[in-house]
Amino acid sequence: MRLATESRPLSNAIVGVPLLFALVALLQLHIDRQTQSAVPGREELLLRSGTLVKKLSLGYDSLLADIYWTRAVQYYGTRVGTRNQDFELLWPLLDLATKLDPQLMAAYRFGAIFLSETDEGGAGRTDLAIELVKRGIAQNPDEWRLDTDLGFLYYWRLHDYSHAAAAYLEGSKNPQAPVWLKLMAARIAAKGGSVETSRMLWSQLYESTSDPHIRSMAFEQLRGLRAQDDERHLDGLAEQYHERFGHLPVSIREMRDAGLLQAIPVDPDGFPYVLGPDGKSHLNPASSFAMPRVPERPPAEPNPADHRSNPAPGLRRE
């Protein structure tokens, strides 16, 4: 009886492994047929259950994961850029590959790109791309690059700046992560309207880093946030002036003379702000100060700049 029991796993392997690889071969033939066929139709994946495939693999999880990942690359490559493609098998292939091998980093990172591509002929499934990357983060919490991928998806694909900033910030907590993750979090938070969050992050960078380039960048960003605060405050006072006098002020001096300001505020370079015809404040054309911009890519290290004033926020007076 014991001998029969011990031989059962071996007999299962003898039967199961060839069966599994036969199914994978049939899957490949199916993909090939669909790739070569000019007639659109509904595609079916032979095995969609990661749990079932994992049981059938009998220890060949990583090998099968590589096979499914290779099939996903092939499947995507033959369809991208072609009109009227639905990419129906792309998600199941990536789903199976990452369930079989939760550490298959390429499937998470490049698979998310495949799923989220929105150009003509792309899959256009950013929702599934986010789900895939979040699964990768859960399975590989020390891999900070996945947090950057998640931030990218939120920022570029969905324009969801709060979630993008949170993703970069989470990745920056990894001791191995480069400092630019926190820089991205701070800049994107500012673009998304979370000025206080952005100021907190830049202040932390300014106080904690010994890198002169990063310190200089943080310094300039803090000056920019202060200027944004100044302009918002002045715009609010211009509205109060309009409500009181029935017309917009033509200058900041007018608002001071009306008692709304004690002094005329100046930008971080010492130049007084000016008002446009619409009553909105902006930087003086004579000022050399420029508002820092959110980068389109992870920021490169800037050249150091002169630290000419205290970066703490708040209106300065002329």
pLDDT of the residue at 62 = 82
pTM above 0.75, yes or no: no
pLDDT tens-digit profile of 140-179? 999 999 999 999 999 889 999 999 999 999 999 999 998 8
pLDDT of residue 27: 53
Query: The tokens of 64 are what?
Result: 């099968």
Which amino acid would we find at residue 225?
L
**How confident is the model at residue 160, as a pLDDT?**
93
pLDDT digits (tens, 9 = 90+) for 103-118: 999 999 999 999 998 7
What tens digit of pLDDT does each residue of 235-281 get? 999 999 999 999 999 999 999 999 999 999 999 999 999 999 898 99
Q: Is the pLDDT of residue 209 over 90?
A: no
Residue 295 lies in a domain: yes
Q: Are residues 170 and 239 in the same domain?
A: no
How many independent structural domains does the chain possess?
A: 2
CATH for 70:
1.25.40.10
Closest among 21, 25, 128, 28 to 75, alpha carbons compared: 28
Residue 245: give the domain boundaries. Answer: 226-317
Q: Cβ of 144: how many Cβ atoms within 10 Å? A: 20
Domain assignment of residue 66, yes or no:
yes
What one-character-per-residue DSSP string does 267-297 give? -TTSPBPEE-TTS-EE--TT---------SS
In a shared domain, residues 237 and 135: no
The confidence score (pLDDT) of residue 15 equals 46
Question: Tens digits of per-residue pLDDT, 71-89?
Answer: 999 998 888 877 778 898 8
